[in-house]
Structure 1
């Protein structure tokens, strides 16, 4: 995944997606230095908190932070986002240009010589398959109140938002299969990152796996299938279903699969996977359509606990990590400096929040407000955020960050002022003697979330809530969140660094990242307008309206923005902190081994 890709899957704690501008303070330079010189070749070891599970991070089963980072290292595309949150075009891969504003028309052209690791060229067929999955073009499904298919068909289980690509007509392939042209039926604010930031899924492999001759046959088949119409659903197309089913889960794996399912078109190749233990990347010797890496191999190990990550760095058993920042881990990083560990700390695009489920016990508005009245946000900041960042403050917006110009105006008018401090008496009055039982879901392996839960639970119990600790381990809490198995959930979004269309992905009725059954017709309308609005000032006005409506509905409460760290040992150079979702991986091609 290129960091600028709008609708790549959320990876909770997690890359998903609120509409944020690129307003993040530059991180300080690394602490410490080394007189050693970098040399070509060599291996570095990276620690990630969760195991790799899929070569398709765009699918609902394949989304995840580690999957997205491996995808980024092994695939290439038309652009990426750097550590200053600037969109950088990769003209060595190909070019894209806006041919027209009315209608919005964009042409993508892949350069000659760009190829998959099996020697097959990357072509417009690969872009076409990406469009097919990300547009929802063929779907004719109608969803029920639980956002399940009531009639019709939903084919590709795409984990991103389809707002932009759903407004395109059938793409046109040209230049002997090297180009693809998209025409939008409506203006789209985020057109530049809607398609091809990373080309991850080889169409010729999908074709072979579903019994088609080649990628061209796949495209021909898809071109012959009409656009789905939920008002007039038709019988499921078996050939389309077969293609979509393989796209949905065919690339999921916890161990090294058939090599055809692990193809690369980026700087590195996946050489081997040991389930739950490690993954090894090796340099793609053919890659020259981007910055060419110098490392021979990158080994990825899985270590969930930040203290264990830091200990491994200090002991020389690992070279690179992004340990979650807590009071203990910050102290451990400071101590590790004596062992040659360098640390960069900067603002992140992630923030913590308490989100209420609109189904179940908190469906009652008074109960939602009563619970929110008990949330001790300042205490949470004091005990969970300030030990890492003394300047941390309560976050008062779901849509804006404090460094953005509209933040002060939106936070002053969106209604969060009513929850500036816990008000137990007001909560008791709303409960009127009731003692609702609420299940609070969070990642119990995250010490920050554990602190948040303990403070929140103690306060809510004072008002009369029966709070159930439903915290789960790192591998269990996310499935529970996606299943809606909670009344209150503590989790964070890592906001995408570019664009505005991410807002619908979280707040629109039935959206893929709408995890708490929130539904508001006015928010749906505003989110739709936002996706089409090219003017930044008008975008901010729409976001402010959404911010106010979300808070007013009792959606939950934002808590605080997180800081993040990048740490590396003395045997690697080129590691640079970035707030983008892929973090330190953003410039993986610049990493070098230091003797």
Structure 2
């Protein structure tokens, strides 16, 4: 849980910068991911994933989980992708993008002629305009004059997008006369412009008909004619509301929809079968020729949450590739299997404990900070990742990746040292005799999260907290993230990043962001985040991110726990795989996979 690619809930806010001047046009250079893979050689591959699939729309706050993004990688194409060196690589066989002006920043995107959805409908202007409308917050006019008064909100937030940062700086776009292009004009020189926009998973003509409109052209007309959102003068937009309602939930499904329009593809694979909570099968999209042509004919994804079960399935030949929760036991078990290649490396993912801020037990800052003082960070690291990486330690920054130079600099000033060691007496002093009840929600099928919960609960109870276990099965914890306050007071989960850009920071911590599940809002941090996404200088970006990091600690947002380590196990019958540290994981170069003869 694509910034244009957003951080995913599994579950890092990315810290690398893309300068505005880095790419004035998308041309130039060899693209190893376009037209690669050679002639199709056939064969099948079975891959084990931890989490079960839940939505064909990975751009919503609820659909923004890692497995949905990976399926989208196989079934949709876009203007660029991120390679294993964490570089943005254009896909010119799909389309092109070009900066046509730097003042104001103006970018034109054009889908190539002949790119279609798997029902034969072209990917064109209606898809581009829906992509922008659903992720720009252009129509939102919700306001909350007094946060202390329940029900004081007015207006509407229409699309439940995982992130709107960046595109919320754009005005109503202009569509090209070719019917396949869109031009975005930014009010400010947005730092992450190159990864801000892409075609969403959801075909516009399908959204249109399910929203009661005639077709994609009618959807374009509805979007172009609806007034811009204005919190000072909220008003109804019935057609936008109907479009958003279907976009928000209409593609959520754990089984194969009876209507094939709900799982169309514009990428190399199309879903052919789903067994709820067990597996998904994808087959080749025979019409696809506008990107890398994969060698594999059929891919089956099996949902296996338990790491030992994944290893056993690989050993038994039931799966060819596994991406289990990393642990020393998992690595030892993999090393004992003949005919298996182990891919291992750092991962752009971190586990964290977040405290719900808007009402409930943690509305009181003293209670939040008391609870944070009880978290046994060193014990959690000992139980989870230190056996894999003896040099690892507790992650002491919400923003920066463990061990990097920006991380080391931030730790010196962000206030994390106050929580480096357990302080039961300090927690008791802050509680002043109170014994608050705290409900902790986490994925009960994830061994690292179970270990973290157990250690946190045992320590917190020593200070007087009464901890309630509300751990949920793997298929349920993701949707439950939106139920903070009603269902949980604290939650343990992870974020994983694409590894480029700075937009992940306001996505996770911005006031009102759909991915900010604990409803944290800090004026000083928000001002820094607003400036951050307009800043291209790396030193200034680091300074602004450190300020946000500091405010997260000073206000008691919660605690990062540890940076993850990634482990993949690959059968020797599969060739062409390569380790990837970001949210795409092993899937990043699927078009290069082949079955060994």
Question: Counterpart in 2 of 1:437?
Answer: 437
Deviation digits for residues 381-431 of structure 1, max 9, x if unmatched?
122221222221121111111343211111011111122211222222222
- CA–CA distance in structure 2, aligned partners of residues 552 and 154 of structure 1: 30
- CA–CA distance in structure 2, aligned partners of residues 8 and 586 of structure 1: 14
Which stretch of structure 1 is more off in the superposition, 241-250 or 544-553? 241-250
Deviation digits for residues 68-121 of structure 1, max 9, x if unmatched?
111110110100111111111111111101111111100111112222112222
Question: Counterpart in 2 of 1:483?
Answer: 483
- CA–CA distance in structure 2, aligned partners of residues 94 and 211 of structure 1: 30
Q: Is the 8 A contact 2:269 2:284 kept in 1?
A: yes
Question: Counterpart in 2 of 1:18?
Answer: 13
Question: Counterpart in 1 of 2:170?
Answer: 168
Structure 1 residue 521 corresponds to structure 2 residue 523: yes
Question: Counterpart in 1 of 2:393?
Answer: 393
Pair 1:61–1:408, CA change in 2 (3 A): closer
- CA–CA distance in structure 1, aligned partners of residues 456 and 250 of structure 2: 41
Which secondary structure state, in structure 2, belongs to the residue aligned with residue 177 of structure 1? coil
Aligned-pair CA distance for 1:333: 1.5
Pair 1:528–1:419, CA change in 2 (3 A): same
Structure 1 residue 317 corresponds to structure 2 residue 318: yes
Which secondary structure state, in structure 1, belongs to the residue aligned with residue 219 of structure 2? helix
Question: Counterpart in 2 of 1:31?
Answer: none
Question: Counterpart in 1 of 2:330?
Answer: 329
Q: Is the 8 A contact 1:22 1:85 kept in 2?
A: no
- CA–CA distance in structure 2, aligned partners of residues 22 and 533 of structure 1: 9
Question: Counterpart in 2 of 1:275?
Answer: 276
Superposed, 1:560-571 pairs within 5 Å as 560-571=562-573
- CA–CA distance in structure 1, aligned partners of residues 6 and 533 of structure 2: 18
Which stretch of structure 1 is more off in the superposition, 399-408 or 563-572? 399-408
Superposed, 1:112-191 pairs within 5 Å as 112-143=113-144, 145=147, 150-158=153-161, 160-191=162-193
Which stretch of structure 1 is more off in the superposition, 522-531 or 355-364? 355-364
Q: Is the 8 A contact 2:129 2:182 kept in 1?
A: yes
- CA–CA distance in structure 2, aligned partners of residues 200 and 438 of structure 1: 38
Which stretch of structure 1 is more off in the superposition, 433-442 or 262-271? 433-442
- CA–CA distance in structure 2, aligned partners of residues 440 and 199 of structure 1: 33
Deviation digits for residues 128-157 of structure 1, max 9, x if unmatched?
110010011112222473998822122222
- CA–CA distance in structure 2, aligned partners of residues 576 and 270 of structure 1: 24
Q: Is the 8 A contact 2:442 2:477 kept in 1?
A: yes
Superposed, 1:243-254 pairs within 5 Å as 243-254=243-254
Aligned-pair CA distance for 1:570: 2.2
RMSD between superposed Cα atoms in Å: 2.1
- CA–CA distance in structure 1, aligned partners of residues 513 and 105 of structure 2: 24
Aligned-pair CA distance for 1:351: 0.8
- CA–CA distance in structure 2, aligned partners of residues 540 and 290 of structure 1: 36
Q: Is the 8 A contact 1:9 1:57 kept in 2?
A: no
Which secondary structure state, in structure 1, belongs to the residue aligned with residue 9 of structure 2? coil
Q: Is the 8 A contact 1:443 1:473 kept in 2?
A: yes
Q: Which runs of 5+ in 2 are unaligned?
A: 19-38
Which secondary structure state, in structure 2, belongs to the residue aligned with residue 318 of structure 1? coil
Q: Aligned pairs, how many?
A: 571
Aligned-pair CA distance for 1:298: 0.6
Pair 1:521–1:134, CA change in 2 (3 A): same
Pair 1:169–1:379, CA change in 2 (3 A): same
Which stretch of structure 1 is more off in the superposition, 240-249 or 536-545? 240-249
Deviation digits for residues 490-549 of structure 1, max 9, x if unmatched?
221113311111111111222111112212111111111111112221111100111111
- CA–CA distance in structure 1, aligned partners of residues 240 and 563 of structure 2: 43
Which secondary structure state, in structure 1, belongs to the residue aligned with residue 501 of structure 2? coil
- CA–CA distance in structure 2, aligned partners of residues 460 and 64 of structure 1: 29
Aligned-pair CA distance for 1:462: 2.1
- CA–CA distance in structure 1, aligned partners of residues 574 and 40 of structure 2: 10
Which stretch of structure 1 is more off in the superposition, 377-386 or 305-314? 377-386
Question: Counterpart in 2 of 1:30?
Answer: none
- CA–CA distance in structure 2, aligned partners of residues 535 and 173 of structure 1: 32
Taking structure 1 as the reference length, what is the TM-score of the superposition?
Answer: 0.91
- CA–CA distance in structure 2, aligned partners of residues 440 and 254 of structure 1: 26
Aligned-pair CA distance for 1:204: 2.1
Aligned-pair CA distance for 1:122: 1.3
Which secondary structure state, in structure 2, belongs to the residue aligned with residue 385 of structure 1? coil
Superposed, 1:351-500 pairs within 5 Å as 351-358=350-357, 359-484=359-484, 485-500=487-502
Aligned-pair CA distance for 1:566: 1.5
